[in-house]
């Protein structure tokens, strides 16, 4: 596996000295971490994907030692399109889900979108000891945000809010869109009753400014970055093809860079989850080194199965032991923009150097 032998741009990073002459083995390494105020046994979180919506997938993730899971999103569009009778009734009872089931047995039978989501949550809590994070996917604040409160009360350990949005309307300004998203974040954080992380896309003009504003609006964590669905064109039929390709380790650069830049800028109690392009134990070590508290994985686990969590944890343990780290906290942030000798390696200064470093050996 590829080690982290120097900071980006070549600045060497100091490693902690082994106190006992280097006799530490992989099993002595502590992989525990904290995320959104929760204690996790492992930094590997199963990101929202069909795997975490499947009962057997959840059970196998638990057996493999996953740190936490994020359930597939409850989408604003689906909630608004589907009936919400049960959820509305549930809200009026001011009882948690389990108790409310006894009050509303008939309504439980009415399987609308929110009901199914609550059932998924209950199932996940039943099979996993690790924390279960629910996910809301939305763009506007409105009546539907009551689901944040509902899911918080129904036993979710935390909530992830995905503000996926394609800014394709020429009449809407960046400032207007950001203000609307911040309003949504603050309403959800106020109502959820559990810690909220906001999953962002990388497409903000002033990312550091917006990320800080999201934290001020009440988010206890940021998840960097959402992976965009990119439609393709079917030339045979001249139609648009929905396409969601799995990531590769090469996609890791963008979230690595921004985690490194944002870690020192955000308050310490704001957690960072890194998602997009984490596939190997080395990828996880890099994510932690730039300041992430957890990694959130979908593509690798969908392709290789939930058992991959166990393999990645042992790869990570081996790397940490070999390089003298007793715990993740020894490694965390050691290559963030504040820790490396040349923080500009993450910014523009290295851009020209990097472009010129590639030579053309053409025919
Ligand atoms: C098939 C599939 C379904 C996904 N569904 C959701 C979802 O419901 N909500 C969400 O926030 N992200 C969703 N994602 C994004 C993942 O949670 C993850 O952030 C992204 O794929 C990047 O991680 P990766 O590189 O490990 O795949 C989905 C990804 C895939 C591949």
Can you give the pLDDT of all 363 residues of the chain as single tens digits?
443 344 334 445 555 554 444 567 888 899 999 999 999 999 999 999 999 999 999 999 999 999 999 999 998 777 766 544 444 544 444 444 444 444 444 444 335 778 888 989 999 999 999 999 999 998 777 767 888 888 888 999 999 999 988 888 999 999 999 999 999 999 999 999 999 999 999 999 999 999 999 999 999 999 999 987 778 899 999 999 877 789 999 999 999 999 999 999 999 999 999 999 999 999 999 999 999 999 999 999 999 999 999 999 999 999 999 999 999 999 999 988 777 766 667 776 566 677 777 777 777
Q: What is the pTM of this model?
A: 0.86
- In order of 304, 349, 354, 356, the CA distances from 359 in angstroms are 37, 19, 10, 7
Is 313 within the bounds of a domain?
yes
Is 156 within the bounds of a domain?
yes
Structural domain total, the chain: 1
Is 145 within the bounds of a domain?
yes
- Residue 178 belongs to domain with CATH number: 3.20.20.70
- In order of 247, 279, 287, the CA distances from 260 in angstroms are 20, 19, 9
Say how far apart CA 310 and CA 143 lie, in whole Å: 41
299 CA: nearest ligand 1 atom: 27
The answer to whether 135 and 76 have CB atoms below 8 angstroms apart is no
For the chain, report the end-to-end CA distance as a whole number of angstroms.
34
Instruction: Note down the domain range covering 85.
Output: 25-357
Quick one: which H or E segment has residue 132?
A: strand 132-137
Is 17 within the bounds of a domain?
no
pLDDT at 82: 59
DSSP 263: T
199 CA: nearest ligand 1 atom: 11
Is 188 within the bounds of a domain?
yes
Query: Which residues sit with their C-beta closer than 6 Å to ligand 1?
Result: 47-50, 72-73, 135, 137, 162, 199, 226-227, 244, 246-247, 275-278, 296-300
Say how far apart CA 246 and CA 301 lie, in whole Å: 10
The answer to whether 192 and 167 have CB atoms below 8 angstroms apart is no
How far is ligand 1, taken at its centre, from the CA of residue 2, in Å? 25
Say how far apart CA 225 and CA 252 lie, in whole Å: 10
Is 33 within the bounds of a domain?
yes
Is 328 within the bounds of a domain?
yes
Is 167 within the bounds of a domain?
yes
**Nearest protein Cα to ligand 1, atom 4:** 49
Say how far apart CA 198 and CA 37 lie, in whole Å: 15
Q: Quick one: 229 exposed, middle or buried, by C-beta within 10 A (0-12, 13-18, 19+)? A: exposed
**Nearest protein Cα to ligand 1, atom 1:** 49
């Amino acid at each position: 596996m590829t080690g982290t032998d120097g900071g980006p741009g070549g600045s060497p990073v100091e490693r902690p000295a082994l106190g006992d002459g280097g006799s530490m083995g992989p099993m002595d390494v502590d992989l525990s971490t904290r995320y959104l105020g929760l204690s996790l046994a492992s930094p590997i979180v199963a990101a929202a994907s069909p795997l975490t919506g499947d009962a057997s997938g959840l059970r196998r993730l638990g057996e493999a030692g996953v740190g936490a899971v994020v359930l597939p999103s409850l989408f604003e569009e689906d909630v608004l399109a589907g009936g919400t009778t049960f959820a509305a009734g549930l809200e009026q009872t001011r009882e948690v889900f389990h108790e409310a089931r006894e009050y509303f047995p008939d309504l439980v039978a009415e399987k609308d979108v929110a009901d199914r989501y609550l059932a998924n949550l209950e199932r996940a809590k039943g099979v996993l000891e690790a924390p279960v994070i629910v996910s809301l996917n939305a763009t506007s604040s409105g009546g539907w945000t009551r689901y944040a409160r509902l899911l918080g009360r129904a036993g979710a350990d935390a909530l992830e809010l995905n503000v996926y949005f394609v800014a394709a309307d020429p009449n809407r300004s960046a400032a207007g869109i950001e203000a609307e998203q911040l309003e949504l974040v603050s309403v959800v954080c106020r109502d959820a009753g559990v810690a909220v992380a906001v999953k962002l896309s990388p497409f903000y003009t002033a990312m550091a400014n917006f990320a800080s504003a999201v934290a001020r609006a009440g988010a206890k964590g940021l998840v960097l970055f959402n992976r965009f669905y990119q439609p393709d064109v079917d030339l045979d039929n001249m139609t648009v093809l929905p396409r969601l390709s799995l990531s590769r380790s090469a996609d890791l650069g963008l979230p690595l860079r921004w985690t490194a830049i944002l870690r020192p800028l955000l308050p310490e109690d704001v957690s960072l989850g890194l998602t997009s392009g984490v596939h190997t134990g080395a990828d996880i070590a890099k994510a932690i080194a730039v300041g992430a508290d957890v990694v959130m994985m979908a593509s690798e686990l969908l392709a290789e199965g939930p058992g991959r969590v166990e393999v990645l944890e042992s790869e990570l343990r081996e790397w940490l032991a070999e390089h003298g780290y007793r715990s993740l906290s020894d490694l965390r942030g050691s290559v963030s923009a504040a820790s490396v000798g040349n923080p500009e390696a993450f910014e523009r200064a290295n851009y020209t150097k990097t472009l010129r470093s590639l030579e053309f050996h053409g025919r």
